[in-house]
Structure 1
Amino acid sequence: MKRITILFLSTAFFILSFNVCAQDAPPKTGASAQELADKLANPVASLISVPLQNNLTYGIGPYNGIKYQINIQPVVPFKLSENLNLITRYILPVVDQQDVTGANTHEFGLSDATITAFFAPKTKGIIFGAGPAFLVPTATEKLLGTEKFGIGPSVLVMHQGKGLSIGFLANQIWSVAGASDRADFNQFYTQIFLTHSYKSGASLGVSSEITQNWQGNTTLITLSPNVGAITKLGSQTMQFAVMPLIPIVGHQSIKPDWGLRAVVAFVFPGS
Structure 2
Amino acid sequence: MKKILLSLLATGLLLVAEEAPALSSEEELAKQLANPIAALISLPFQLNYDGKIPDEAGGVGDRWTLNIQPVIPFSISEEWNLISRTIVPVIRSEGLPAGSGVESGVGDVVQSLFFSPKAPTESGWIWGAGPVILIPSHSDFSAESWGAGPTAVALKQSGPLTYGLLANHIWDIDGKNEISQSFMQPFLTYTTPTALSATLMTESTYDWKAEPGERWTVPLYLVVTQVGKIGEQRISYGAGVKYYAKHGEHGPRGWGARLVFTLMFPK
User: Aligned match of 2:78 in 79, 82, 86?
Assistant: 82
- Is the CA contact (8 Å cut-off) linking 2:199 and 2:222 kept in structure 1? yes
Q: How many residues align?
A: 237
Give the structure 2 partner of residue 203 of structure 1: 197
Say which SS state the counterpart of residue 24 (structure 2) adopts. coil
The residue number in structure 2 matching 1:3 is: none
User: What is the letter of the counterpart of residue 133 of structure 1?
Assistant: V
Cα distance in 1 for residues equivalent to 2:41 and 2:118: 16
- In 2, distance between residues paired with 1:234 and 1:113? 32
Which residue of structure 1 aligns with residue 167 of structure 2?
170
Are 1:123 and 2:119 an aligned pair?
yes
Deviations 1:18-47 (CA, angstroms, capped at 9, x unpaired): xxxxxxxxxxx7211111011000001000
Give, in angstroms, the shift of residue 165 of structure 1: 0.2
- For the pair 1:94 / 2:94, whether they are aligned, the reply is no
Q: Which residue of 1 aligns with 2:4?
A: none
2:65 and 2:208 mapped to 1: Cα distance?
A: 23
Deviation at 1:64, TM superposition (A): 1.9
State the match for 1:111 in structure 2. 107
Unaligned runs of 5+ residues in structure 1 are 1-28
Compare relative contact order (CA 8 Å, sep 6+) and give the higher one, 1 or 2.
Answer: 1
Q: Could you say which residue in structure 2 is the equivalent of 1:32?
A: 25
Aligned to 1:262: 259
Q: Could you tell me whether the CA contact under 8 Å between 2:148 and 2:170 is conserved in 1?
A: yes
Map 1:18-57; keep pairs closer than 5 Å.
30-57=23-50
Tell me how far apart the structure 1 counterparts of residues 138 and 88 of structure 2 sit (CA, whole Å). 10
Tell me how far apart the structure 2 counterparts of residues 234 and 109 of structure 1 sit (CA, whole Å). Answer: 33
Query: Is this contact kept in 1: 2:114–2:130, CA < 8 A?
Result: yes
Query: Percent sequence identity over matched residues?
Result: 34
1:202/1:228 contact within 8 Å kept: yes
Q: Per-residue CA shift, 1:189-238, capped at 9, x if unaligned?
A: 11110001111111112111111111124210011112110000111100
Question: Which residue, out of 65, 68, 84, partners 1:72?
Answer: 68
C-alpha displacement of 1:103: 4.0
User: Which position in structure 2 is the counterpart of 1:145?
Assistant: 142
2:196–2:225 contact (8 Å) kept in structure 1: yes
Deviation at 1:105, TM superposition (A): 4.5
Give the Cα–Cα distance (whole angstroms) in 2 for the partners of residues 31 and 255 of structure 1.
39
Q: 1:196 to 1:78 in 2, by over 3 A?
A: same
AA in 2 matched with 1:116:
S
After superposition, the C-alpha distances for 1:89-136 in whole angstroms (9 at most, x for unaligned) are 000000000123344443211110000000001223201110000000
Taking structure 1 as reference, are residues 146 and 191 closer, same or farther at Cα in structure 2, changes over 3 Å only? same
Partner of 1:226: 223
Distance 2:86 2:128 in 1: 16
In 1: Cα distance, 2:223 partner to 2:68 partner: 19
Instruction: Give distance in 1, aligned partners of 2:138 and 2:239.
Output: 27
**Structure 2: which amino acid aligns with 1:186?**
S
Normalized against structure 1, the TM-score is what? 0.84
Flag structure 2 segments of 5+ consecutive residues without an equivalent: 1-21
Aligned to 1:14: none
Aligned partners of 1:137, 1:205: CA distance in 2, in Å?
A: 30
TM-score, normalised to structure 2, is 0.85
How far does residue 50 in structure 1 lie from its aligned partner after superposition? 0.3
Structure 2 counterpart of 1:132: 131
RMSD: 1.4
User: Separation in 1 of the partners of 2:233 and 2:28?
Assistant: 16
